[in-house]
Structure 1
Amino acid sequence: MEKPRIGFIGVGLMGHGMAKNIVEKGFVLTVMGHRNRAPVEDLLARGAREAKTPAELAAASDIVVLCVTGAPQVEAVVRGPHGLVAGAQPGLHIVDTSTSEPALTMALHAELKEKGIHYCDAPLGGTPIQAEEGKLSAMVGAEEGAFRTVEPAIAAFAARIIHVGGPGAGHTMKLLNNFLSLGYGAIYAEALALAAKVGVTPQVFDSVISGSRMDCGFYQTFFKYVLERDVNAHRFTLSNAHKDMRYVNNLASAVGAANFVSASVKNVYAAAEGLGRGDWNVPQISDVVAELNGVSLGPVPQLEQED
């Protein structure tokens, strides 16, 4: 059976590895130009083609994968004057792997279904390294038939694929997942600052927590930065963390849920961005909270410039 033609928009930090796996696993791949040409040129060298607009990319694809920053970017790519809808034919499947807002996802699904276009959300769990290795996890919100169509393409970059429900369910689960991880980040930061206040070093703190029931993968990457000052241990910016927590709070407001903890977690990251640290990575929230408490956990390294 002939493999579907894949279009990919957003070949940045996560998207490059995902797209690389798609083209290397035998799919015909078309990518859209990116402000950083290096990943685009790398993919073209591997056999990908390039489209100039989302409309052009949609016309050349059976499945389009989006990996952009958030809801405003998703909406512009889909609904814009040269967006996917402008070039799409009935039968096109769109897979949004961005962390977006469930309300927008469900609205796009309903709107595009009338045009014969299938909209699915498949936000991701994992790191850019796992994207390069094809070992991400995907939480897919899709109608059953659409899920069966897009699953082989998602499997090119995701080792774990969970069909969590209908359109919007993937983005809902992703927000809950990020609430947990970013909540941990805020708690680690506050605990480390309090520890420093009373003379407990990060090394002593880690000697107790590492390997205990409170250890986890997120803890390990967070503390790789705290202990080794490896600024790239967890490459996800504080501005993106703030954005995701805004989406969590928006979701709570939309359904009338009391959200005591997520509101507080959002404000931790909002403060960091307000202090001009939005381009710092998530583990560096520990330095922000330490500074606000008048202590230091170690030297703050310079962040590499990223596309």
Structure 2
Amino acid sequence: MGGKPVIGFIGVGFMGHGMAKNIVQKGYPLWIKGNRNREPIESLVGMGAKEAASAKEMAEQCDIIHICLSNSPQVEAIVRGPDGILAGARKGLIVIDTTTADPTSTMALAAEMAEHGVTLVDAPLGRTPKEAEAGTLDAMVGADDATFAKVLPVIQCWAGNINHLGPTGSGHKMKLIMNFIAMGYGALYAEATVLAAKVGVSPNKVRDVIGSSRLNNGFFETFMKYTVDRDRDAHKFTIANASKDVRYVNAMAADACVTSVMASAVRQYYVHAEATGHGGDYVPMVGDHIARLNGLDMEEEVKKGR
């Protein structure tokens, strides 16, 4: 790559918009793929990005392409489809998949792409859309050393905490461990807060006590910002995505022949909430779901505690 590489970005949603914005603002030529939500597309085009009609067209123009989608089937489709990345890829193309994905799928894609002279890097994300806009996300990167050196300056546009974990696949494995812990927190906080309300301790008091103790952390704070303050945007990560991630965790554990009692238990709350039509709700709202299962209205319990 001579000079600054041409960058592509597929998936400019909650996280992707901020990441792409920071890439173009750092002076990289940027192509983005359009979707039904035109607001982030028009925003980025207004900053100087070009819009590609397909992943194939993007692959024909770019040196490095980011993918930021919801799940592995979507990634597989954008790579393998008739108008996908491989249909237009030139030898030497690097694809950075920031999706929280199934590592088994990642490894299969990496092998297939290598046959076309394309290198797959997995670099899933930590933190929230707020940090995406600020360019201070966490990145867990799986790549060989030479490829990591090539992509590091680009990743530094949108990430403030970058860990190179090993070869391709390592990032997605670590991200599943991280999200297992996070979604486990969510299920635990929800169940504990509902139990407290059921025995007469308000969610407000739970926040006061735990929030001022050594058990406090950022996830607890955003969880309780919704639970007590009813701020719907406190933690914008959907139950459907949480359900998917914990499903991938359980599959990874099964593949590794690891006992996964906790992961199996955590999965049940998210799957049940999704199955009953609440997949579009955000993770802290799983507390409302558990409250309903136990005959409570969490918003009313909060009002009682004021």
TM-score range, shorter chain: over 0.9
Aligned runs of 1:108-257 on 2, under 5 Å? 108-257=109-258
Equivalent position amino acid for 2:170 in 1:
A
1:118-175 Cα shifts (integer Å, max 9, x gaps) = 1000000010111000010000011111111111111111011100111111000000
Q: How many residues align?
A: 300
1:210-247 Cα shifts (integer Å, max 9, x gaps) = 03111111111111101100000000010111011110
Give runs of ≥4 in structure 1 deviating > 3 Å: none
Equivalent position amino acid for 1:249 in 2:
N
Aligned: 1:98 with 2:99: yes
Equivalent position amino acid for 2:86 in 1:
V
Asked whether the 8 Å contact 1:58–1:88 carries over to 2, the reply is: yes
- CA distance, structure 2, for counterparts of residue 114 and residue 280 of structure 1: 40
TM-score normalised per structure 1? 0.96
- Stretches of structure 2 that go unaligned for 5 or more consecutive residues are 302-306
Bigger proportion of residues as helix: 2
- CA distance, structure 2, for counterparts of residue 118 and residue 149 of structure 1: 11
1:66-105 Cα shifts (integer Å, max 9, x gaps) = 0011100000000111110110101000000000010111
Alignment match, 1:279: 280
RMSD between aligned alpha carbons? 1.1
Aligned: 1:32 with 2:33: yes
**Secondary structure of 2:259's partner?**
coil
- CA distance, structure 2, for counterparts of residue 160 and residue 66 of structure 1: 19
- CA-CA distance at 1:208 after TM superposition: 1.0
- CA distance, structure 1, for counterparts of residue 97 and residue 229 of structure 2: 35
- CA distance, structure 2, for counterparts of residue 264 and residue 51 of structure 1: 43
- CA distance, structure 1, for counterparts of residue 220 and residue 166 of structure 2: 29
Alignment match, 1:73: 74
- CA distance, structure 1, for counterparts of residue 37 and residue 207 of structure 2: 38
Asked whether the 8 Å contact 1:196–1:296 carries over to 2, the reply is: no
Identity of aligned residues (%): 50
- CA distance, structure 2, for counterparts of residue 135 and residue 211 of structure 1: 26
- CA distance, structure 2, for counterparts of residue 147 and residue 85 of structure 1: 21
Aligned: 1:3 with 2:4: yes
- CA-CA distance at 1:299 after TM superposition: 5.6
- Stretches of structure 1 that go unaligned for 5 or more consecutive residues are 301-307
Asked whether the 8 Å contact 1:9–1:67 carries over to 2, the reply is: yes
